[in-house]
Structure 1
Amino acid sequence: MTAGSTGNDGPRRIKSVQTATDVIDAIKQQQGGTLAEITADLELTKATVHTYLQTLVDCGFVTRDGDQYRLGFQFVTIGEHVRNETDLYMAGHNEVDELAERTGEYTHLIAEERGREVVLYESRGEFAVAMDYHLRMRETPQHLHDTAAGKAILAHLPVTRRDEIIANLEFERQTANTITDAAELRETLADIRDRGYALNDEEEIRGMRAVGAPVLGPTETVVGSVSVTGPTSRLQGDRFHSAVPKQVIETANLIEVTLETAQFDR
């Protein structure tokens, strides 16, 4: 990890801000650690890292317990604020709860940022499984090409934006079913646009399937997606290819109506 990059191949960056985010990322990746452990992940001196850590502690972004540093709840407070300021969340979280109740599975409300999917909200149905997988989804933004929610968004992005994201994909294989070719992905995205929903047939994790549908904003641009995720034993046959897609599309449409008509109280 290189601290303090000035971004010679792009816009100039403020070195101290970049370094602070590198320190925060090191703490996150290690799930907390000592000064020595955090410094080991950075191209910085221990004294420099200590100065940044102390500043972050003073600002409430990092907590210290003995020699252990961890990320502070300030991030939770900011995250809640950002989410509550997002129209998609305000319009969609109750509908996602109802979808989870109807399907019995995990349901998600997804947004796209920096070419990855971000979980704005999730709801757990009565029979939902794979909690570790869903925790990882919340903590680490996922690629768009191997999830149903991500493909639903990617298929409906403007062409230039879609091409930009595809050009930067590494197409890392997660399972035997993962799409690893740009041409195949483009064909899949065209099919998604035609039928109005996306499928994930064990493309991200073996034994799990998902169905996703795009959510379009008032200007008909995609603002996110809704998805249902469950084990292959339950998402199969007509339920996987017809029943759940209808439910997901219906939920997406209800969210679209709310986005078009509601005034959100914040």
Structure 2
Amino acid sequence: MSGRGSAGVGEVADAADSAGSLARMLQILELFTEQEPVWSTAELINALDTSRSTGYRYIKTLHDAGLLTTVRNGYYSLGPRIIEMDLQIRQTDPLLLASQGVLEDLVENVGHSALLLTAFRDSVLCIGECRAPQSPANRFSRGQRRPMFQGAGSKVILAHLPHHRLKAIYPRHLEEIERAGLGTNWSEFRKSLGEIKKNGYLLTKGEFNPGVYGVAAPILTDQKTAVGSVGVAWDENVRDINVEQAIHAVKQAANTISRRLAESQGQS
């Protein structure tokens, strides 16, 4: 019996080592950014702080999977498999499918750019956008991330996250939460989020770009937790905006996407 117990401990240790190795290998992909899109083999191995043999094995595995591609001898960038996966996401992601036509209707009704966001780690990720004519480019685009504690689209998601997730997020981001005006302790933090939940939307100004307003509403599951948010943004010098109309249109858009999501999941 002790032999079986020892084997079990060994298997658990092996599984932990394997998971840790996989996590370290995937960390390579995190190194590639807009500012540093190309890395040499030596730079990757140094950044991982691992042995050369392990580093070479990681790079070869990612290259064989198409997640890295060779730019020139010994230099790599992100690979074509990622592009293929992005196409698959665009064609199959339930949140994107449920939002088809909704962002376009928002732009038509409000006259300003619309965004679709989802939670990713302790941040939010833009997964869809529809630009109004002559709107500023690259203000927030698909694939870009922002903190969870700034901006209407972020905060309405945060307010509707499950309690256990908020309990995990709070101690990791105490200073950010306080700087965002969401409270100096857990009780104040929960109260701030409760106000956002009660209103069903949030209007902010200048939290990312000076003089830019944003209004967003949460996209909710049947359990009233957020899977994302939808919103619009405009500059403060714009005079053709009807704020109440914008709020109503955004809340209606969020309700439409939430309903479509529920219907699609009920059919599956």
TM-score (normalised: structure 1)? 0.79
Specify the alignment match of 1:239 in structure 2.
242
Give yes or no for the alignment of 1:25 onto 2:30.
Answer: yes
TM-score (normalised: structure 2)? 0.78
How far apart in 1 are the matches of 2:248 and 2:17?
Answer: 47
Specify the alignment match of 1:99 in structure 2.
106
Specify the alignment match of 1:4 in structure 2.
none
Specify the alignment match of 1:226 in structure 2.
230
Secondary structure (helix, strand or coil) at the match of 1:226 reads strand
How far apart in 2 are the matches of 1:134 and 1:248?
Answer: 17
Specify the alignment match of 2:42 in structure 1.
36
Secondary structure (helix, strand or coil) at the match of 1:157 reads coil
Kindly report which structure 2 residues correspond to 1:242-261, keeping only aligned pairs within 5 A, or say none.
242-261=244-263
Structure 1 gap segments, 5+ residues each? 1-7
Kindly report which structure 2 residues correspond to 1:5-24, keeping only aligned pairs within 5 A, or say none.
14-24=19-29
Deviations 1:64-94 (A, max 9, x none): 0213310012112223334544322211132
How far apart in 2 are the matches of 1:118 and 1:163?
Answer: 21
Kindly report which structure 2 residues correspond to 1:25-104, keeping only aligned pairs within 5 A, or say none.
25-28=30-33, 30-67=36-73, 68-104=75-111
Kindly report which structure 2 residues correspond to 1:152-163, keeping only aligned pairs within 5 A, or say none.
152-163=156-167
Secondary structure (helix, strand or coil) at the match of 2:252 reads helix
Structure 2 gap segments, 5+ residues each? 1-12
How far apart in 2 are the matches of 1:235 and 1:76?
Answer: 40
**Structure with the higher fraction of residues in helix conformation:** 2
How far apart in 2 are the matches of 1:243 and 1:185?
Answer: 29
Identity of aligned residues (%): 25
The answer (yes or no) to whether the contact 1:145–1:185 under 8 Å persists in 2 is no
Q: How many positions carry a matched residue from both structures?
A: 249
* Cα 1:123–1:265 shift into 2, 3 Å: farther
